[in-house]
Structure 1
Amino acid sequence: MTLTEDTTTLADESAPERKVPRRRLRLDQIGLYGLLTVAALSALLPLIWMISGSLQSLPELLANDSFLPAVPQWGNYITAWVDGDLGTYLRNSVVYTGSAVVGILLVSSLAGYALARLDFAGKGVFTFVILAVMIIPAPAMFLAQYKLLISLGLTNNPVGYILILITSGIPMSTLIMRSFFVSQPRDLEEAAALDGAGPLRIFWSVILPLARPGLAAVAVIQGLGAWNEYLMALALFDDNALMPIQRGLTAFTSAETPQQQILLAATTISIVPVVIFYLMAQRHIVKGIGAGAIK
C-alpha cells in the first residue's frame, strides 16, 4: 500500500460519521394530518356500512347487533341484479352519462377557449348570461325544457334526455374551462400561429392536449351529476326500459315489502362504474382543479 492510500484510509477512518437529520413533524402538520384522517374516515364509513349492510340478511340488518355480517349473503346482489333489472338501467345510465360528458366537454372546451382567448362583441354579456343561468335551480327549468322537448317531438326519447343533460352542464363547465385556459401561457399558441396554424388547429393540436387535467375535472363533476340525475328522467320517460339506474333503486323501496339489504346491494352495484371512472381519472383531477378550476 502506498503512502497516499494509507493516508487517505486513515483520514476516512478518523472522519466523523455524518448523520442525516431526521425530519420532525411540526405540531401544525400533525394537526393537519389528523384532520385529514378524520375527514377520510368520515367519507369512507358510509361506504363501508353500505357494503356491510348489503351482505346481511334483513333481520340481521334491522337488529343492528353487529357492524359486520355473520354470514355474508352474496345472494343479495343476485336478487338486486335480477329482480331490479339493473342490467338494463345500468346500460342506460352508461349511455346517457357517457354521451352527456362527451357533449359537455366538446361544447364547454370550445366556448371556454373562445372566452379566454378571443375578443368579440358581447363577450362580457355572454359571460354574464352564463352566470345568470347557473343561478336558476334545475327544477325551475323543468317545465320550459319539457315544453321544448314536446315541440321537438323528443319526449320519451333518449336523445331529448341527453340534450337536457348536456345543456344543464354546459354553463359551469364553460367557466371552469375558461379559467383553465386563462391560466395557460400563450407562448405555444403564438409559436403555432407563426408556423401557420389557424385557431381551430391551435386549439385541437396544442391547447386541448394541455387541457387534459381541466377536462378530467369537468368530466368527473358532470359525470357524477348526470349519473345521479333522476327527476327529469321521471318526468320525461314513460317507458321503464329507458330509465337510468336510479329508477332501478326505487324497486326496493316499497313500504309493504321492505328490502333494505337488497337496496343496499343495488346501490353498491350502481356506484361501481363511477368508482372505476374516478380511479382512472384521479391523477388529473387535483391537477386540473389546482390549475384553474378554482382560480
Structure 2
Amino acid sequence: MSAEEAGPGGRVARVPGDVSPREEPPRRPRVRADRVGLYGLLGLAAIFSVFPLLWMLSGSLQSLDELLGGENFIPSEPQWGNYVTAWVDGELGTYLLNSILYTGTAVLGILTVSSLAGYALARLEFWGKGVFTVVILAVMIIPAPAMFLSQYKLLIEFGLTNSRLGYVLILITSGIPMATLIMRSFFVSQPKALEEAAAIDGASRLRIFVSVILPLARPGLAAVAVIQGFAAWNEYLMALVIFHDNSLMPIQRGLTSFVSAETPQQQILLAATVISIVPVVVFYLLAQRHIVKGVGAGAIK
C-alpha cells in the first residue's frame, strides 16, 4: 500500500497508519580545502600587518627601561606622559599643521590637474597624444632625488626657496604623472553615451566634465587622493633641501628631534609616530568605501 494517495483537487493525502519514508537532513555545505588555505594566509597577513602597529602603541606607553628590556608587551604602568613630552618638546603642533596644509593643498592640486589631463588623454584627439603619454611614463621612471637639483634651481629662479608655495608646487608636479595615468584609465572605462546625451541637451564640454564625468570617477579620485596623500605626507628629503626655517618643516622633522645616540628616547619617538599617523588613518577611513570601489573597478578593467 502506498503511503500517499491523490486526494481531491490533485492534492496528496497521507493514508493513516502508513509510515512515510525518513526524510534526509539537509546537507551541510562542504568546506573547501583551498578556501581554508586562502583564509589562513589572509589571517596570517593581517596579523603580520597589525602587529607592528600594536607594538608601536605598546612601546609608546612604556618607560625607556621597560621598552629596552623587552620583557612585557603590555605596559605594566602606561606612561601617558610620553605623548605630552612628544607634543611639547617635539613641537609637533606646528609640524603637524604644516603637513596637513602641504598634503591637503598638494592633493587638491594633483586631483585638479590630473583629472583634466586624464580626461583629455581619454576623450580628446590631438596631435602628439601618444608622445605625451610616453613622456609621462618616462618621467615616472626617473627617481625623485635625481630631479632635486633641477627643481631647486627652478625654485631659485622664481624666488620660491624656503617658502610654502615652492614646496607645495614640488609636491604637485611630482604626483601629477602617476595620477594622470590612473585618472585616464577611469575615464576610458566610462560610457560615451552619457556624454553624448548631455551634449544633446546642450551641455558644454566643461559642464559635461564637471556634472557627469567627475561624479562617476569618484572611486578613482579617492584612490589618487590616498596614494598621493601618503606620498606627500611622508616626503622629507625635498623639505630638507628647500627649507632653512624649522617652522616650515613637515611632521617628519618633529620625529627626528627624538633620534639621538647620546640621549635615546625611543619611547617618545614611538609616541610622536603614533600622533603623526592619526590624520592619515582618519583620512583613509573616510575614503575607504571609495577606495574599495576604485580597486574593484581597476580589477574589472
Check whether TM > 0.5. yes
Q: Give me the whole-angstrom Cα distance separating, in 2, the residues matched to 1:101 and 1:9.
A: 73
Flag structure 1 segments of 5+ consecutive residues without an equivalent. Answer: none
Letter in 1 for 2:295: I
Return the match for 2:125 from 119, 134, 155: 119
Q: Write out per-residue CA displacement over residues 130-151 of structure 1, whole angstroms, 9 at most, x where no aligned residue.
A: 0000000000000000000010
Give the CA RMSD over aligned residues: 2.1
Show the counterpart of 2:30.
Answer: 24
Residue 292 of structure 1 deviates from its aligned partner by 3.0
Show the counterpart of 1:128.
Answer: 134
Deviates further, 212-221 or 282-291: 282-291
Distance change (3 Å), C-alpha of 1:269 and 1:194: same
1:87 and 2:89 correspond: no
Show the counterpart of 1:188.
Answer: 194
Letter in 2 for 1:248: G
1:78 and 2:116 correspond: no
Letter in 2 for 1:253: V
Q: Write out per-residue CA displacement over residues 242-280 of structure 1, whole angstroms, 9 at most, x where no aligned residue.
A: 000000000000111000000000000000000000000
Show the counterpart of 2:69.
Answer: 63
Show the counterpart of 1:172.
Answer: 178
Letter in 2 for 1:268: V
Show the counterpart of 2:60.
Answer: 54
Residue 199 of structure 1 deviates from its aligned partner by 1.2
Return the match for 2:285 from 271, 279, 284: 279
TM value normalised by structure 2: 0.91
Partner-residue secondary structure (3-state), 2:48: helix
Residue 286 of structure 1 deviates from its aligned partner by 2.0
1:160 and 2:166 correspond: yes
Letter in 1 for 2:157: S
Letter in 2 for 1:148: L
Larger radius of gyration: 2
**Identity of matched residues, %:** 75
Q: Give me the whole-angstrom Cα distance separating, in 1, the residues matched to 2:248 and 2:52.
A: 30
Structure 1: 4+ residue segments shifted above 6 A:
7-11, 14-19
Q: Write out per-residue CA displacement over residues 95-123 of structure 1, whole angstroms, 9 at most, x where no aligned residue.
A: 00000000000000110011011111100
Residue 70 of structure 1 deviates from its aligned partner by 0.7
Show the counterpart of 1:43.
Answer: 49
Residue 23 of structure 1 deviates from its aligned partner by 3.2
Q: Give me the whole-angstrom Cα distance separating, in 2, the residues matched to 1:74 and 1:285.
A: 34
Q: Give me the whole-angstrom Cα distance separating, in 2, the residues matched to 1:88 and 1:100.
A: 18
Letter in 2 for 1:267: T
Q: Give me the whole-angstrom Cα distance separating, in 2, the residues matched to 1:28 and 1:19.
A: 26
Show the counterpart of 2:204.
Answer: 198
Q: Give me the whole-angstrom Cα distance separating, in 2, the residues matched to 1:212 and 1:232.
A: 30
Q: Give me the whole-angstrom Cα distance separating, in 2, the residues matched to 1:153 and 1:162.
A: 14
Distance change (3 Å), C-alpha of 1:10 and 1:78: farther
Distance change (3 Å), C-alpha of 1:241 and 1:9: farther
Distance change (3 Å), C-alpha of 1:194 and 1:253: same
CA contact (8 A) 1:176 1:293 kept: no
